[in-house]
Structure 1
Amino acid sequence: MGAMTRRKVHERTILCEAFIRDDGLLEVEATLQDTKPYTVHLTEGHLEAGQPLHQMRLRIAVDADFMVHEAQAQTIHSPYRVCGGITPSYGALVGMRIGPGFLQEARKMLRGPLGCTHITELLPVVATTVFQASSALHAEADEGNQPAHVRRANALGRCHALRLDGEVVHRDFPDHATDTTLPNQRSPAPTET
């Protein structure tokens, strides 16, 4: 197949950053931005090429147990003036724990007209960043004494590399392995003659 000519018609960028605060909480901030490479005409005005059509931010602060202590949404740019009116609804995330069921419950609470599609799209990004950055919280709590591979144990079984019957778990977490024989060491099934 030959090279195809293509023309950009949309760009979405998502930036997610995590910070340890002086009060010991982990703060995660995600920003979504949509731009078009051409002028967009809207009922409430127009945007020149490259100007944000959407720019929304979601910031949460969690403790070492992933309990949400603060949640704040912000609409910086939107196609309609009323879009930002829904941002206080994201304060309802306070008191929730990021873990199994968090995304389903949050999406249910902020579905349809009860939330902003674009801010709600940032929930899984924020949640996974909390887990990725949580080692910093635990490192500070443990003063760096706990090896990183021990802190990763809570991710076991959640992806291909960390499957419970796989090579990495057998090597690094043998107490969590579900099968004592690695897949590539298993005897082939007997064949009928």
Structure 2
Amino acid sequence: MTVKRTPLHTRNINIQGYKREDGLWEVEGVLEDTKGYPFSLEDRGLIEIGDFLHRMTLTLVFDDSFTIRDVHAQMHNTPYLDCSGAAPQYRELIGLRIQKGWITDAKTALGRTTSCTHLTEMLPPLATAALQTVRGYKLNYDPDYATGSEERKTVRNTCYGFRDGGRAQQRLWPNATDEQSEA
């Protein structure tokens, strides 16, 4: 049975990963919110259907160890004029390392009332994209990376596909059984 639905809110998050010519890596996320109806905001006036309620960009620049070296936060469209005041706070992420548990450190560094909920919500998918950007590139262009223990440690048992004894483990690291029994 099909039930008629009326679109009310759309959120799009687009993330791109880059290899930079200076040897660093970069992930850039753009968050865009629109509404399916017109409405007014005191600070902005009438927001038409399809106009951006939120349009924000967060860019993380990091090195091979996934340590954040630079951050750029831009708030192109926000519901309130003072929202963009949170953008400079994201420079507090510089020096943090994207790794397991880093989101807690990031949220502490950013502070709750000095940061933006929407930019902060992009950190987990930006971290995933950072890993996929570097890993994907190195898996295709660095023959030692795919078979190395660092790659195994990074993805081992992180999901069904990379479980011990699974197809990926058998194809990528067929001789890893000794390492598995030690873990």
* Structure-2 residue corresponding to 1:30: 29
How many residues are aligned here?
176
* Structure-2 residue corresponding to 1:91: 91
* Structure-1 residue corresponding to 2:77: 77
Superposition RMSD in Å: 2.2
What's the offset of the Cα at 1:148?
4.0
Counterparts of 2:151 and 2:6, CA distance in 1? 42
What's the offset of the Cα at 1:4?
1.4
**Which is higher, the Rg of structure 1 or of structure 2?**
1
Q: For 1:27-56, what per-residue CA distance to the aligned partner results, in whole angstroms no more than 9, with x for missing partners? A: 110010000121121122221110000011
What's the offset of the Cα at 1:167?
4.0
- Mapping of 1:35-184 within 5 angstroms? 35-44=34-43, 45-135=45-135, 138=138, 144-146=142-144, 148=146, 150=148, 152-153=151-152, 154-174=154-174, 175=176, 178=180
Q: For 1:71-125, what per-residue CA distance to the aligned partner results, in whole angstroms no more than 9, with x for missing partners? A: 1111000000000001100001111111122111102222421210000011011
TM-score, normalised relative to structure 1: 0.82
Letter of the 1:7 counterpart: T
Q: Please identify runs of 4+ aligned residues in structure 1 that moved more than 2 A.
A: 108-112, 135-140, 143-153, 164-174, 176-179
Letter of the 1:40 counterpart: F
Instruction: Check whether the contact 2:145–2:151 (CA below 8 A) recurs between aligned residues.
Output: no
Summarize the Cα distance change of 1:134–1:178 in structure 2 as closer, same or farther, 3 Å threshold: same
Instruction: Check whether the contact 1:165–1:178 (CA below 8 A) recurs between aligned residues.
Output: no
What's the offset of the Cα at 1:171?
4.3
SS of 2:135's partner is helix
Counterparts of 2:25 and 2:124, CA distance in 1? 16
SS of 1:114's partner is coil
Letter of the 1:146 counterpart: D
Counterparts of 2:130 and 2:47, CA distance in 1? 34
Counterparts of 1:131 and 1:152, CA distance in 2? 11
